[in-house]
Structure 1
Amino acid sequence: MTSTRNRDVHQTAALAALGVPGVSALQPGLADRLAAVASRAQAASLPGEAGIRAEHTPEGDWHVEVRCVVHEDHRVLHVAQQVREHVRTAVTALLAQHGTTAPVTVLVTVTRTV
Protein backbone atom coordinates (compact mmCIF):
# COMPACT_ATOMS: atom_id res chain seq x y z
CA MET A 1 0.00 0.00 0.00
CA THR A 2 1.56 3.29 -1.03
CA SER A 3 1.88 6.23 1.30
CA THR A 4 -0.60 8.09 -0.91
CA ARG A 5 -3.24 5.41 -0.34
CA ASN A 6 -2.43 5.36 3.36
CA ARG A 7 -3.01 9.12 3.46
CA ASP A 8 -6.25 8.60 1.51
CA VAL A 9 -7.43 6.13 4.16
CA HIS A 10 -6.64 8.67 6.90
CA GLN A 11 -8.46 11.47 5.08
CA THR A 12 -11.45 9.31 4.22
CA ALA A 13 -11.77 8.12 7.80
CA ALA A 14 -11.46 11.68 9.13
CA LEU A 15 -14.12 13.05 6.78
CA ALA A 16 -16.48 10.16 7.59
CA ALA A 17 -16.06 10.64 11.34
CA LEU A 18 -16.46 14.41 11.19
CA GLY A 19 -19.65 13.97 9.14
CA VAL A 20 -21.44 12.15 11.95
CA PRO A 21 -23.92 14.35 13.83
CA GLY A 22 -22.66 14.95 17.34
CA VAL A 23 -18.95 14.77 16.52
CA SER A 24 -17.36 18.07 17.45
CA ALA A 25 -13.76 17.31 16.46
CA LEU A 26 -11.12 14.63 16.25
CA GLN A 27 -8.69 14.47 19.14
CA PRO A 28 -5.05 13.93 18.30
CA GLY A 29 -3.06 11.70 20.61
CA LEU A 30 0.17 12.71 22.28
CA ALA A 31 2.29 10.99 19.62
CA ASP A 32 0.42 12.89 16.90
CA ARG A 33 0.97 16.20 18.68
CA LEU A 34 4.69 15.56 19.13
CA ALA A 35 5.06 14.53 15.49
CA ALA A 36 3.29 17.70 14.35
CA VAL A 37 5.57 19.87 16.47
CA ALA A 38 8.66 18.03 15.26
CA SER A 39 7.80 18.13 11.55
CA ARG A 40 5.86 21.39 11.21
CA ALA A 41 4.35 19.80 8.08
CA GLN A 42 0.82 19.93 9.45
CA ALA A 43 -0.32 22.30 6.69
CA ALA A 44 -0.35 19.45 4.17
CA SER A 45 -2.78 17.34 6.19
CA LEU A 46 -6.52 17.53 6.58
CA PRO A 47 -7.66 19.35 9.74
CA GLY A 48 -8.52 16.78 12.37
CA GLU A 49 -6.75 13.97 10.56
CA ALA A 50 -4.42 13.53 13.53
CA GLY A 51 -7.30 11.91 15.44
CA ILE A 52 -7.07 8.95 13.07
CA ARG A 53 -4.61 6.10 13.20
CA ALA A 54 -4.77 3.50 10.43
CA GLU A 55 -2.68 0.38 10.13
CA HIS A 56 -2.50 -1.96 7.16
CA THR A 57 -1.59 -5.35 8.61
CA PRO A 58 0.64 -7.93 6.90
CA GLU A 59 -2.49 -10.08 6.51
CA GLY A 60 -4.05 -7.32 4.40
CA ASP A 61 -6.61 -6.11 6.96
CA TRP A 62 -7.06 -2.48 7.93
CA HIS A 63 -7.34 -1.39 11.56
CA VAL A 64 -8.55 2.18 11.99
CA GLU A 65 -8.65 3.99 15.33
CA VAL A 66 -10.72 7.15 15.69
CA ARG A 67 -10.40 9.51 18.68
CA CYS A 68 -13.25 12.00 18.75
CA VAL A 69 -14.84 14.72 20.83
CA VAL A 70 -18.64 14.57 21.10
CA HIS A 71 -21.13 17.36 21.74
CA GLU A 72 -22.56 16.89 25.23
CA ASP A 73 -26.16 17.02 24.00
CA HIS A 74 -25.66 13.76 22.04
CA ARG A 75 -25.56 10.21 23.39
CA VAL A 76 -21.92 9.15 23.37
CA LEU A 77 -22.65 5.48 22.67
CA HIS A 78 -24.95 6.30 19.76
CA VAL A 79 -22.43 8.70 18.21
CA ALA A 80 -19.56 6.21 18.65
CA GLN A 81 -21.60 3.48 16.93
CA GLN A 82 -22.39 5.80 14.02
CA VAL A 83 -18.75 6.87 13.71
CA ARG A 84 -17.64 3.22 13.62
CA GLU A 85 -20.16 2.36 10.90
CA HIS A 86 -19.54 5.48 8.78
CA VAL A 87 -15.76 5.10 8.90
CA ARG A 88 -15.90 1.37 8.10
CA THR A 89 -18.24 1.97 5.17
CA ALA A 90 -16.20 4.90 3.80
CA VAL A 91 -12.84 3.13 4.03
CA THR A 92 -14.27 -0.06 2.52
CA ALA A 93 -15.66 1.98 -0.39
CA LEU A 94 -12.31 3.75 -0.87
CA LEU A 95 -10.48 0.43 -1.00
CA ALA A 96 -13.01 -0.90 -3.50
CA GLN A 97 -12.37 2.12 -5.75
CA HIS A 98 -8.71 1.09 -5.80
CA GLY A 99 -9.63 -2.50 -6.62
CA THR A 100 -8.84 -3.80 -3.15
CA THR A 101 -11.08 -5.71 -0.81
CA ALA A 102 -9.94 -6.02 2.77
CA PRO A 103 -11.62 -6.36 6.13
CA VAL A 104 -11.79 -3.01 7.95
CA THR A 105 -11.96 -2.91 11.74
CA VAL A 106 -12.74 0.42 13.40
CA LEU A 107 -12.17 1.28 17.07
CA VAL A 108 -13.77 4.50 18.31
CA THR A 109 -12.65 6.28 21.46
CA VAL A 110 -14.56 9.29 22.75
CA THR A 111 -11.99 11.40 24.55
CA ARG A 112 -14.35 14.02 25.96
CA THR A 113 -17.60 15.89 25.49
CA VAL A 114 -18.02 19.62 24.94
Structure 2
Amino acid sequence: MENESAITALGALAQGTRLDGFRLLVRHEPDGLAAGEIARQLEVPQNTMSAHLGILARAGLVRAERHSRSIIYRADLDGLRAVMLFLVKDCCEGSAELCAPLVAELAPCC
Protein backbone atom coordinates (compact mmCIF):
# COMPACT_ATOMS: atom_id res chain seq x y z
CA MET A 1 0.00 0.00 0.00
CA GLU A 2 1.24 3.45 -0.88
CA ASN A 3 0.96 6.52 1.33
CA GLU A 4 -1.79 8.05 -0.79
CA SER A 5 -3.99 4.97 -0.53
CA ALA A 6 -3.51 4.85 3.23
CA ILE A 7 -4.30 8.56 3.54
CA THR A 8 -7.48 8.08 1.49
CA ALA A 9 -8.61 5.15 3.65
CA LEU A 10 -7.80 6.87 6.92
CA GLY A 11 -9.44 10.07 5.70
CA ALA A 12 -12.59 8.15 4.84
CA LEU A 13 -12.72 6.81 8.39
CA ALA A 14 -11.99 10.23 9.90
CA GLN A 15 -15.69 11.18 9.95
CA GLY A 16 -18.13 9.95 12.56
CA THR A 17 -20.91 8.60 10.35
CA ARG A 18 -18.50 6.82 8.03
CA LEU A 19 -16.61 5.29 10.94
CA ASP A 20 -19.87 4.13 12.52
CA GLY A 21 -21.04 2.73 9.17
CA PHE A 22 -17.80 0.87 8.57
CA ARG A 23 -17.84 -0.63 12.06
CA LEU A 24 -21.48 -1.65 11.57
CA LEU A 25 -20.56 -3.42 8.33
CA VAL A 26 -17.64 -5.20 9.99
CA ARG A 27 -20.06 -6.52 12.62
CA HIS A 28 -22.34 -7.80 9.85
CA GLU A 29 -19.74 -9.74 7.92
CA PRO A 30 -20.07 -11.83 5.82
CA ASP A 31 -23.68 -11.03 4.94
CA GLY A 32 -23.47 -7.24 4.76
CA LEU A 33 -26.39 -4.83 4.93
CA ALA A 34 -28.59 -2.97 2.50
CA ALA A 35 -27.87 0.73 2.24
CA GLY A 36 -31.29 1.61 3.62
CA GLU A 37 -30.77 -0.61 6.65
CA ILE A 38 -27.41 1.01 7.37
CA ALA A 39 -29.06 4.44 7.20
CA ARG A 40 -31.89 3.29 9.46
CA GLN A 41 -29.61 1.80 12.09
CA LEU A 42 -27.39 4.89 12.14
CA GLU A 43 -30.40 7.25 11.96
CA VAL A 44 -28.99 9.03 8.91
CA PRO A 45 -30.94 10.09 5.79
CA GLN A 46 -30.54 7.52 3.01
CA ASN A 47 -29.06 9.96 0.51
CA THR A 48 -26.49 11.11 3.08
CA MET A 49 -25.59 7.50 3.89
CA SER A 50 -25.21 6.72 0.19
CA ALA A 51 -22.68 9.54 -0.13
CA HIS A 52 -20.74 8.24 2.88
CA LEU A 53 -20.78 4.68 1.53
CA GLY A 54 -19.46 5.97 -1.79
CA ILE A 55 -16.51 7.58 -0.04
CA LEU A 56 -15.78 4.36 1.85
CA ALA A 57 -16.04 2.36 -1.39
CA ARG A 58 -13.63 4.67 -3.23
CA ALA A 59 -11.23 4.30 -0.30
CA GLY A 60 -11.31 0.51 -0.71
CA LEU A 61 -13.00 -0.15 2.63
CA VAL A 62 -16.43 -1.33 1.48
CA ARG A 63 -17.82 -3.24 -1.51
CA ALA A 64 -21.27 -2.96 -2.98
CA GLU A 65 -23.24 -5.70 -4.72
CA ARG A 66 -26.60 -5.28 -6.35
CA HIS A 67 -29.20 -7.84 -5.26
CA SER A 68 -32.41 -7.27 -7.15
CA ARG A 69 -33.53 -3.77 -6.16
CA SER A 70 -31.18 -3.45 -3.17
CA ILE A 71 -27.51 -2.64 -2.94
CA ILE A 72 -25.81 -4.72 -0.27
CA TYR A 73 -22.70 -3.23 1.28
CA ARG A 74 -19.99 -5.30 2.90
CA ALA A 75 -16.82 -4.33 4.70
CA ASP A 76 -13.81 -5.00 2.50
CA LEU A 77 -11.69 -6.88 4.99
CA ASP A 78 -8.80 -7.08 2.53
CA GLY A 79 -8.81 -3.28 2.37
CA LEU A 80 -8.88 -3.07 6.16
CA ARG A 81 -6.04 -5.60 6.38
CA ALA A 82 -3.96 -3.55 3.94
CA VAL A 83 -4.40 -0.38 6.01
CA MET A 84 -3.62 -2.18 9.27
CA LEU A 85 -0.50 -3.79 7.81
CA PHE A 86 0.60 -0.45 6.37
CA LEU A 87 0.33 1.12 9.82
CA VAL A 88 2.31 -1.57 11.63
CA LYS A 89 4.70 -2.63 8.87
CA ASP A 90 7.67 -0.89 10.45
CA CYS A 91 6.55 -1.56 14.01
CA CYS A 92 9.34 -1.11 16.53
CA GLU A 93 12.03 -1.28 13.83
CA GLY A 94 11.55 -5.01 13.40
CA SER A 95 11.72 -5.91 17.09
CA ALA A 96 8.92 -8.45 17.15
CA GLU A 97 8.88 -8.65 20.94
CA LEU A 98 7.92 -4.99 21.16
CA CYS A 99 4.99 -5.51 18.79
CA ALA A 100 3.80 -8.70 20.49
CA PRO A 101 1.28 -6.91 22.76
CA LEU A 102 -0.29 -5.22 19.73
CA VAL A 103 -0.55 -8.49 17.84
CA ALA A 104 -1.97 -10.21 20.93
CA GLU A 105 -4.69 -7.55 21.21
CA LEU A 106 -5.68 -8.03 17.56
CA ALA A 107 -5.55 -11.82 17.46
CA PRO A 108 -8.44 -12.80 19.79
CA CYS A 109 -11.06 -10.96 17.74
CA CYS A 110 -10.64 -13.17 14.74
Relative to the length of structure 1, the TM-score reads 0.27
Structure 1 or 2: more helix by fraction: 2
Relative to the length of structure 2, the TM-score reads 0.28
Q: With CA pairs under 8 Å and 6+ residues apart, which has the higher RCO, 1 or 2? A: 1
Say which one has the larger Rg.
2
